Amino acid sequence: MKKSNKGLKIFLGIIIGIVLLGGLDYVLAFHTGTRNRHVENSKDHSSSGIIDENGLFADEPEALAKLEERIEECADKTNMNIQVFLPSSDRRYYSDDDVRNFTANQYNDTFGENTDGLLYYIDISGKSPACDDIAKSAAANLIYTEDICQRIYTALDEYLPPSYGPVYTEHIINAVEHFCPMIESYYDPDRASGSYYDATADTPVYVYTKNGETYVTTSKPPFKKLRICIVAELAGGLLTLILYLISKSRYKFKSKTNPSIYLSPDNVRFREKSDVLIRTYVTKHRIQSSSGGGGGGYRGGGGGGHSHGGSIGHSSHHR
Amino acid sequence: MESVEYKCPNCNADLKFSPSTQKLDCEFCLSSFTVDEIKKLCSKTENSIPPEAVQLQEDFANHTHLYRCKSCGAEIMADDQQTATFCYYCHNPVILAGKMGGEFKPDKVIGFKLTRDNAIACFKKWVGRRWFVPKDFKSQQQIEKLTGLYVPFWIADCHIEADYRAIGKKLRHWVSGNYSYTETKEYRVIRDASMLTRGVPADGETKIDDLLMEAIEPFDYREMKDFSMSYLSGFYADKYDVDKSQVFPRIRERSKQACLTFIRSTISGYSSLMPSSDQYKVTNTDWNYTMLPVWFMSYKYKDKIYEFAINGQTGKLAGTPPLSKGRLAAVCGCIGGALAAAIIVLGGVLF
């Protein structure tokens, strides 16, 4: 009876401990953190459009205006800031990092930091291989994931010329006319989940959604905090258990005297003490030859960093 | 079945003749002897007690008081100059129960060499390293309960016939061409010996844990003296309640273990050993009923008695320290909590 009471007490203690820790985790994960830097987009998307730095549409302003209109329409539908940028040949010496740095700053300069939107940089500068880039800001990072961007690139490869070939306005018109519907079709704010961490920003930030609202904060998203809390509690609990068991083992009776001390070699008289060889035999077996080996592997790549403000993520593609 | 009145040379219990084996068997210690062996052994023993020994037994009976604890049943001896007031084991008052019988007079004794102050210093050093014992356990009141006690021990010299036979294998490996070769040499290993374990002790009372008494061994038998009442002065002595036939299995086991270890130490260089015979037979045992000096203390904590003993001759100590699980859990919890807090802070949960 007494033992079962003790067991019940321990069980209740464990349950209460788990409940308390759960409550603490909830408070730490969901009710702590830094201010939300996210800036809601205005309904006016007149800033969205196309920048023809290259002057490709110099002789076709109507076509450019049409594209401008289409992009604005897309921006209205998605409530995203959208800009398509056609770089001049001055940018052909840009490295990939330079491109990403430029697109991030261009977006922030045009629409402001931590707004929802994206900038599509179609590399017609003459750089080979051409480096297209989609710079995504705030919620766009969660909606237009790397996978979606790569799908967009693959689809647009059909319309864009190779980097070594001449570029005509038709290429860009086709590309933009297919780009906008794809942006619209992939737009699904409800699908925005998980989080995005922009480590290259001037102040590294996390982008995530909570209760349908977009957050851009310097503190971690709630589920990451929750995971850290649980890991911390498991590590603390494990350390507690190990220390408890080690300390408890020091409180056990260990000492025992070896009875060998009561037998002196002087008190041993051998009648027979022998080690007689009775037989010798040899066995042999064939050594199995084994072949194999592994190839080495190498990891290559790497990349430089760049610096910008806001919460810009990139998806790049080479043509 | 025919019954023959011979005493077992090992444990002094009655031997019974077994027609099936044609041997005299001891039901207590499971020793077995041929009739010739037992006759030879009995011829060496004295059949009469010398008058001096009778006088010593009478003196012992006249000058020793027996006290009994009504609470735990412990029986304590003290000389007639001293009055025992509390039980060394459960710390309850004891009452005078009468005189001791002469048959309880010990043969030998080792006097206390460790003073009470030395024993307290040993205890304090031992307990000082243990942070999670209950505070009471370290208190002066508890230390006062450290009792100088002569514990009754049966000390035995065992004559053992050892017969160890085994097949030992020595292996040698080498490689030649595409073949791996193994040469196996088989040896017949024989160790046939007479062995004598000297002074294997076993405490003769049930109150104190046997393992605790084994843990404070060994005692230096060179300082063993014939028993005299003067050794009891200032100390208590426990009366034995376990006779030698009951302790013999423990002594036999420890003696066998000593012999086994010795035999094994003479065999080396083999990759494997397959014993065909590994027998250790105790053929004869010489006994001494001896009082050995022990500083003893018991402590009751949460319905469990924790015992602590110091060898009153050598200062070797042993015991089970009580553990305050609540304090230990609290300290470990604080350390674990600090680690968790550090991970939470460094992991950036708060900022």
pLDDT at A83: 95
Which of A18-32, B1-15, B32-46, B186-200 has the lowest average pLDDT? B1-15
Mean pLDDT of B51-57: 65
Instruction: Give the pLDDT score at A304.
Output: 39
Tell me the per-residue pLDDT of B154-176, one tens digit each, with 9 for 90 and over: 999 999 999 999 999 999 999 99
The pTM (predicted TM-score) of the whole model is 0.64
Work out the minimum CA distance from B125 to partner chain A, whole angstroms: 15
A185-230, pLDDT tens digit by residue? 999 877 777 888 888 778 888 998 888 888 899 888 888 889 999 9
Strands in A75-194 per DSSP E: 81-86, 117-121, 131-137
Residue of B320, B324, B316, B293 lying closest to B305 (CA atoms): B320
Please give the mean pLDDT across all residues of chain A: 86
Q: Is the pLDDT of residue B60 over 80?
A: no
Q: Does residue A169 or residue B229 have the better pLDDT?
A: A169
Instruction: Indicate the burial class of A231 (C-beta count within 10 angstroms; 0-12, 13-18, 19 or more).
Output: middle
Please count the residue pairs, one from chain A and one from chain B, whose beta carbons lie less than 8 angstroms apart: 203
Q: What is the mean pLDDT of residues A164-178?
A: 89
pLDDT per residue as tens digits for the range A35-92:
889 898 888 888 899 999 989 898 889 999 999 999 999 999 999 999 999 999 898 8
Indicate whether A176 pLDDT > 90: yes
The verdict on domain A49-223+312-318 having CATH code 2.60.40.10 is no
Q: Which residue has the higher pLDDT, A139 or B10?
A: A139
d(CA B114, CA B308) in angstroms, rounded, equals: 15
* Mutation target vs B (from A249, A251, A261; most B CBs, 10 A cutoff): A251
Query: How many of the other CB atoms lie within 10 Å of CB of B264?
Result: 13
Task: State mean pLDDT over B82-92.
Answer: 71
Least confident of A3-7, A189-193, B133-137: A3-7
What sign does the CA torsion over B28, B33, B38, B41 have? negative
C-beta atoms of B182 and A218 within 8 A: no
- Give the helix ranges, DSSP H, for B84-167: 116-128, 140-143
Inform me whether the C-beta atom of residue A260 falls under 8 Å from chain B C-beta atoms.
Answer: yes
Pairing relationship of beta strands B14-18 and B23-26 according to DSSP bridges: antiparallel
A298 and B CB contact within 8 Å: no
- Residue B21, pLDDT score: 78
Work out the average pLDDT over A10-16: 89
Omega before A162 within 30 of 0, i.e. cis:
no
The pLDDT of residue A298 is above 60: no
At residue B74, the pLDDT reads: 78
Query: Does pLDDT of B265 surpass 70?
Result: yes
- Structural tokens at position A73: 């329409």
B113 class by beta-carbon count within 10 Å (0-12 exposed, 13-18 middle, 19+ buried) = middle
**Average pLDDT of span B49-56:** 62
Distance in Å, alpha carbon of A289 to nearest chain B alpha carbon: 9
Alpha-carbon Rg for chain A, nearest whole angstrom, is: 34
pLDDT tens digit sequence for B190-199: 999 999 999 9
End-to-end CA distance of chain B, in Å? 92
Query: Within an 8 Å CB–CB cutoff, is residue A283 touching chain B?
Result: yes
Please enumerate in sequence order all residues whose Cβ is within 8 A of that of A15, keeping only pairs 6 or more positions apart, or say none. none
Comparing C-alpha atoms, which of A260, A256, A271, A258 is closest to residue B198? A260
Give yes or no for residue A16 having a pLDDT over 90.
yes
Per-residue pLDDT at B337 exceeds 50:
yes
Structural tokens at position A124 = 């017609």
Is this complex scored with an ipTM above 0.90? no
CA–CA distance, A37 with A206 (Å, rounded to integer)? 10
Whole-number Å distance between alpha carbons of A156 and A177: 10
Give the model confidence (pLDDT) of A102-134 as tens digits. Answer: 999 999 999 998 999 999 999 998 888 889 999
Q: Strand B23-26's sheet: what is its strand order?
A: B6-7, B14-18, B23-26, B32-33
The residue in chain B having the minimum alpha-carbon distance to the alpha carbon of residue A243 is: B332
- Greater confidence (B49 vs B293) lies with B293
B81 falls in which pLDDT band (50, 70, 90)?
low
| Beta bridge partner(s), residue A118 | A82, A136
Residue B137: phi and psi, rounded to 5, are -65, -25
Confidence band of A303 (pLDDT split at 50, 70, 90): very low
* Structure tokens belonging to residue B262: 């010795």
Question: What is the model's pLDDT at position B230?
Answer: 73
Comparing C-alpha atoms, which of B111, B108, B123 is closest to residue B155?
Answer: B108
Burial of A261 (0-12, 13-18, 19+ CB in 10 A): middle
Give A-chain residues touching B168 at CB under 8 angstroms. Answer: 275
CA–CA separation, B225 vs B231, rounded Å? 10
State whether A274 and B190 contact (CB < 8 Å): yes
Give CA–CA dist B280/B163, Å, rounded.
6
Element (H, E) at B103: none
Span A230-250, mean pLDDT? 92
Residue ranges of E strands in chain B: 6-7, 14-18, 23-26, 32-33, 64-69, 75-79, 94-99, 108-109, 147-176, 179-203, 225-226, 236-238, 272-301, 304-311, 317-319
With b for 16 or more beta-carbon neighbours within 10 A and e for fewer, the A173-193 pattern comes to bebbebbbebbeebbeeeebe
For chain B, percent of residues with pLDDT exceeding 90? 36
**Assigned token pair, B227:** 């028993």
Lowest mean pLDDT among A72-76, B58-62, B332-336: B58-62
Q: Do B214 and A257 touch (CB under 8 A)?
A: yes
Confidence at residue B91, expressed as pLDDT on a 0 to 100 scale: 74
Q: Distance between CA atoms of A11 and A59, rounded to whole angstroms? A: 81
Q: What is the average per-residue pLDDT within B294-317? A: 89
* pLDDT (tens digit per residue) in A308-319: 667 777 888 777
Whether the per-residue pLDDT at A1 is higher than 60: the answer is no
Least Cα distance to B37 among B3, B12, B8 occurs for B8
Chain B hits for A199, CB-CB cut-off 8 Å, are none
B181 touching chain A per CB within 8 A: yes
pLDDT of B99 strictly over 70: no
Please give the single-letter amino acid code of residue A34: T
Number of Cβ within 10 Å of residue B228's Cβ equals 14
C-alpha to C-alpha distance for A219 and A200, rounded to whole angstroms? 15
